[in-house]
Amino acid sequence: MWQVVQEVTAVTEAELASTLRATKDPGGRKRRQKTAARIRALAPQWFDDGRGASRRETAGRSRPQPTVWRALRSGAVATAGTLQPLNASSAIVRAISATFHDAIVQHAAPSPIDVALARTQHARYLQALRGAGLAVTELPPLDAHPDACFVEDCALVAGDTALITRSGAPSRVGEADSIAEVLARTLRIERTPAPATIDGGDCLRVGRTWFIGRSARTNAEGAQRVREVFGPLGYSVVEVPVRGFLHLKCVASRIGDGAVLVAEGSVDLGFFGGLFGGLFGGLEVVTIPPTEAYAANTVVVNGTALVAAHHPHTRAALEQRGLRVVELDMSEFAKADGSLTCLSILLD
């Protein structure tokens, strides 16, 4: 099945960009029909007769999905190179604690964390953020909290509201206080009462939807708290089971206002509204090989993508979508189960 999906993706990326955008071109409809016919030959089960929604079996039940045919006929399909931009003006970060070598880890790395090297890598990360046009506020280290550089876990921000989280890791409780002080200067602050737990690394905002990873760090009460705070502001919440990794954003990140980058095989793509990692559905879901799963966590802002070094497929996928890619060595943060988005909170 995956071979078919790869063939379909190749067809769509090569042809849809030149055929589907011409919705007002008199010849556009014929070109879309021709492309649809080619995709139909590869994956006929994705099509109906154009009058209703196709269906695919999921977990023993039939679930409606928008048809490829309808998307092609209307031209309402996101294509490579048409990402809606993600813009921000500033970022909050925190300096590396002297105790970073004691950060929480799920599996011990072959070598211990080198704090000096981590600080060098962090400095390059800050340089990349500034190079993307962000004003960076760097908070002082919290040596009592080895993981405190991972500020993303401390707050969820959308519009004029910040939800201060309550970490599912007891040793991290207290990290968010100084983050809240900074955010309170410009944003309305909401809190997360017990027994709710939320780690920001489980919370992926794409457009008007929060995808909440249900992990060991984020519980059902935490997901409900996100609904309570952001639901009245027009945001929906979709809960995504997280198995085998720390946070949802370990394997998924947003790369456009309606697009996500996901490591193949890590989560059910149906949660994102995508169709087997293709271009059809509620979002554009761009998949990368499992061997590059670590690179699924990227920071995309102001037309620039910060990507973990040495992941060529990921780099190519992002460059094909018009992003300027900056590769960064993240070796010491990976040892602490951290990655790029973990190290900052972006603000509009």
Residue 135: phi and psi, rounded to 5, are -85, 125
Q: Where are the beta strands (DSSP E) in 179-281?
A: 188-190, 203-206, 209-214, 236-241, 252-256, 259-263
CA distance 296 to 315: 10
Active site residue 342: yes
Catalytic residue among 154, 203, 250, 342: 342
The stretches of the chain forming alpha helices (DSSP H) are 2-19, 28-42, 68-74, 115-131, 176-183, 220-230, 312-319, 331-335
CA distance 268 to 273: 10
Token duo for residue 321:
């979508």
CA distance 14 to 31: 13
Q: Check: CB of residue 155 under 8 Å from CB of residue 163.
A: yes
- Three-class SS state of 180: helix
CA distance 205 to 257: 9
Nearest CA among 251, 298, 300, 246 for reference residue 271: 251
- Distances in Å between the alpha carbon of 318 and those of 221, 286, 298, 300? 35, 9, 10, 10
Catalytic residue among 122, 247, 250, 311: 247
Token duo for residue 19:
């055929």
Residues annotated catalytic, as ranges: 247, 342
